[in-house]
Amino acid sequence: MTNLLSPTTQRSGSGPAPAPTFAVIPGAQVQRALSGREKQIVELVEATYRLHGAGRSVNPPSYFLRFPDRPADRIIALPASIGGSVHVDGLKWISSFPANVDAGLPRASAVLILNDHDTGYPFACLESSIISATRTAASAALAADLLSRTRPRPARVGFFGTGLIARYIHTFLTGTDRDFDKIGVYDVSADSAAGFRGYLEQTGAPGQITVHDSAEELIRSSDLVVFATIAGAPHVSDPAWFTHNPLVLHISLRDLAPEILLSSANIVDDIEHCLKADTSPHLAEQLTGNRDFLDGTLDDVMSGRLTPPSDRPVIFSPFGLGVLDLAVGKYVYDEVARAGQLRLIDDFFHDLRRYG
C-alpha cells in the first residue's frame, strides 16, 4: 500500500526500513491533479506563507546557473524545506530560455524533486512547469484578494505580457470568484496579444476585452495590473502612469523603474530573496542605499501587522519561494497516490546494503 505522507519512512517497529520507492509524475498527471482546484491551491499557498512567516521552513537563496555565451538564458535551483503537514524537502530546477518562444515552445521548463524528510531519499520527480505556474498564479490571486480589501474591488484588470503565466493568473483570478467588467491586454508581440485575446474569448470570460496599443494605455485604464513578462531590466519608468493608484501584481519582477516603486507602497513575499538579482526592488535599494521603501511582506498583511494604503499604488513583487513549489508538488503527489496512479520506477535505488 502506498503511504501518502512519506513513502520512504514506513517502518515496522525497530526492523529495517523497506527499500525506498521512486515515482515519476508527468505533466498530464500534474495537470489533472490541479485542474479546477484553484480555491484549494490558494488556501494551500496561504498556509505555506504562514508557515514560512512563522519560521517553519528553510528557504535558502536560489542559485542561478548562467552562461557567458548565452546571457539571456539561465537555469535556477530553488532548494527548500517545509514543516507543518507538508513536511518535505526538495528542489525545483527550472530553466528560462527566452528564445524558446520564437520556436513555439514555452520559455520555461522545470522538474521538482521531493525528498523524504526523515531519510533524505528522493521519492518523486514531477514535471514542474505546471506546478511553478500554478503556485505563481495562486500567489498572485491571494495577493489580489488580500491587498484589495482596503480599496474598491478592482473592476478593470490589465495583463502586461500574455504568456503561460498570464494565462494561469487569469485562471486563478476567475477560479477564486473574481470577475471583471473590463479585461485589458498588452504585449510587445501583436501575435501574442491576439492569441491571449483568443484564449480569453474561448473561456467565455465575462467583461469587455480590449487589446491596447501601448503600455501606458493599458496601465492607465486598469485598477489591477498584472506584469507577466520576460523583461530583464526595467522598461516602464513614468510614475505618472500610476497616479490612479492601481494594485500592481509585479510578477516578473524587473519591469518597473525604481522611481515607480519609490512613489508606491511595496509588498514582497520575502525581503531577503526579493532584494537581489537586479530585481526592481533590488535596484531601488541600490538607488536609495536603504530598504525604507518596503512596507512589508504578504505575511505581514495576513497577520494584520500591515494594512495596505488606498491612496497610493500598491505593488506586490514576489520573488517566488521554493517552499511554495514543495507544497504544491506534495499536494500533487498525494492526489496521484490517492488515486492509485503513481508510476513507480522499480529498483531505482540500487546497492542499499551497507556492507554489500
* % of the chain residues with pLDDT over 90: 85
Q: What is the mean pLDDT of residues 172-192?
A: 95
Residue ranges per structural domain of the chain:
23-132+322-338, 133-317
Residue 8 scores a pLDDT above 80 = no
Across the chain, what does the average pLDDT equal? 93
Q: Phi/psi at 166 (nearest 5 deg)? A: -60, -40
Name the β-bridge partners of 74.
66, 96
Distance, in Å, from the CA atom of 267 to the CA atom of 116, rounded to the nearest integer, reads: 33
Q: What is the mean pLDDT of residues 182-187?
A: 98
Residue 43 scores a pLDDT above 90 = yes
- On the question of a common fold for 23-132+322-338 and 133-317, the answer reads no
> For residues 268 and 319, is the Cβ–Cβ distance under 8 A?
yes
How confident is the model at residue 117, as a pLDDT?
93
4 pLDDT band, cuts 50/70/90, is very low
CATH 3.40.50.1100 for domain 23-132+322-338: no
Q: CATH homologous superfamily of domain 133-317? A: NAD(P)-binding Rossmann-like Domain (3.40.50.720)
* pLDDT greater at residue 191 or residue 8: 191
Q: What is the mean pLDDT of residues 153-168?
A: 96
* % of the chain residues with pLDDT over 70: 95
How confident is the model at residue 19, as a pLDDT?
75
Residue 120's alpha-carbon distances to 12, 62, 108, 234, 280, in angstroms, are 19, 20, 27, 41, 36
133-137, 211-215, 230-234: lowest mean pLDDT where? 230-234
> For residues 248 and 314, is the Cβ–Cβ distance under 8 A?
yes
Q: What is the mean pLDDT of residues 29-52?
A: 97
14 pLDDT band, cuts 50/70/90, is low
Residue 149 scores a pLDDT above 80 = yes
Distance, in Å, from the CA atom of 291 to the CA atom of 261, rounded to the nearest integer, reads: 11
How confident is the model at residue 3, as a pLDDT?
39
Distance, in Å, from the CA atom of 18 to the CA atom of 94, rounded to the nearest integer, reads: 32
Q: What is the mean pLDDT of residues 213-241?
A: 97
How confident is the model at residue 12, as a pLDDT?
45
Tens of pLDDT, residue by residue over 57-108, are: 999 999 999 999 999 999 999 999 999 989 999 999 999 998 998 898 888 8
Tens of pLDDT, residue by residue over 237-275, are: 999 999 999 999 999 999 999 999 999 999 999 999 999
Distance, in Å, from the CA atom of 150 to the CA atom of 247, rounded to the nearest integer, reads: 11
HEC profile of the chain: CCCCCCCCCCCCCCCCCCCCCCEEECHHHHHHHHCCCHHHHHHHHHHHHHHHHCCCEECCCCEEEECCCCCCCEEEEEEEEECCCCCEEEEEEEEECHHHHHHCCCCEEEEEEEECCCCCCEEEEEECHHHHHHHHHHHHHHHHHHCCCCCCCCCEEEEECCCHHHHHHHHHHHHCCCCCCEEEEECCCHHHHHHHHHHHHHHCCCCEEEECCCHHHHHHCCCEEEECCCCCCCCECCHHHHCCCCEEEECCCCCECHHHHHCCEEEECCHHHHCCCCCHHHHHHHHHCCCCCEEEEHHHHHHCCCCCCCCCCEEEECCCCHHHHHHHHHHHHHHHHHCCCCCECCCCCCCCCCCC
How confident is the model at residue 101, as a pLDDT?
84
Distance, in Å, from the CA atom of 137 to the CA atom of 83, rounded to the nearest integer, reads: 22
How confident is the model at residue 115, as a pLDDT?
97
> For residues 23 and 2, is the Cβ–Cβ distance under 8 A?
no
Q: What is the CA radius of gyration of the chain?
A: 21
